Amino acid sequence: MRCAEYCEVVANWQVATNQFEIQLHSPIVARHAQPGQFVQLRVQTGYEPLFGRPFSVFRTFPERGDFSVIYLVRGTFTQLLAQKKPGDSVFVVGPLGNRFLVRQPAQEVQHVLVAGGVGAPPMYLLAEELVQKGVPRQQVVVINGARRHDLLVCQEHFAELGVPLWAVTEDGSLGEKGRVTDILKGLNQRGELQRERCQVYACGPTAMLEAVAKFAQKHNLPCQVSVETMMPCGMGVCLGCAVKVRTPEGHDYRRACVEGPVFDAAEVMWE
């Protein structure tokens, strides 16, 4: 089930440098959104900006009928979104796309969640779901990375879940210095990645996803990635979000907004 309607802004506040969380009232999204799915937002009634923008669902509050997304202000669209106040409205279509598939039985699997920048929100929703469904917290490992500390998203929310949490920044301003793959390599070298019952999930910039995917392939770890790509329509009509994937016949293209945004990392052709 999905909605396509104007939704009231409940709150809209800054959470970090140029990063905001907006909470919207939509009982349909709040009840039905699953980890990895997204909503398409439009902020205006005219023609500028012409297209909506996709945002991963971050938190849901089914009892209140609310949900939230995190966005980075860096263009006309997000500048307009940042100006929205409680009582204003935003046009919402969603939830859209597919979700992360949890390897079963979930309670016996080591779930390794890798987030990069604004790729953290769907990772949080997944981590929250796993904990709520009874997966032991020590089996939900989160690696949260960014270029610097003020671009690290959702760190305090992950911490509140009480799961093993690694913060990593490229400049060393918070947590470990380096990249998320450095943490993966370290965990693997210490024998902490249990290949027989491990599942890797990742969301973030394309270069990070490719690096995580290649690490997982090298060490025979199942891996799912949520791609970050422009989705002009969000409904599979414009074909502007095509992702090249391997097929038995060679290759084909899949629409990130319909067949994705979550893909088996081994199927994505990164080159």
pLDDT of 46 higher than 70? no
d(CA 55, CA 119): 10
Mean pLDDT of 227-243: 79
Q: Which residue, chain included where needed, has tokens 């391997």?
A: 246
pLDDT, the chain, mean = 92
pLDDT of 12 higher than 80? yes
Give the three-state DSSP class for 85.
coil
Query: How many CB atoms lie under 10 A from the CB of residue 245?
Result: 17
Angle between helices 206-218 and 180-189 (to 10 degrees): 20
pLDDT of 52 higher than 90? no
Q: Using one digit for the tens of pLDDT, what is the confidence trace for 173-194?
A: 999 999 999 999 999 999 888 7
pTM of the shown model: 0.94
pLDDT of 49 higher than 80? no
pLDDT of 47 higher than 60? no
pLDDT of residue 110: 95
pLDDT of residue 48: 58
d(CA 187, CA 177): 15
Sorted by sequence, the CB contacts under 8 Å of residue 75 that are 6+ apart come out as none
Domains by residue range for the chain, with CATH: 3-95 (2.40.30.10), 106-264 (3.40.50.80)
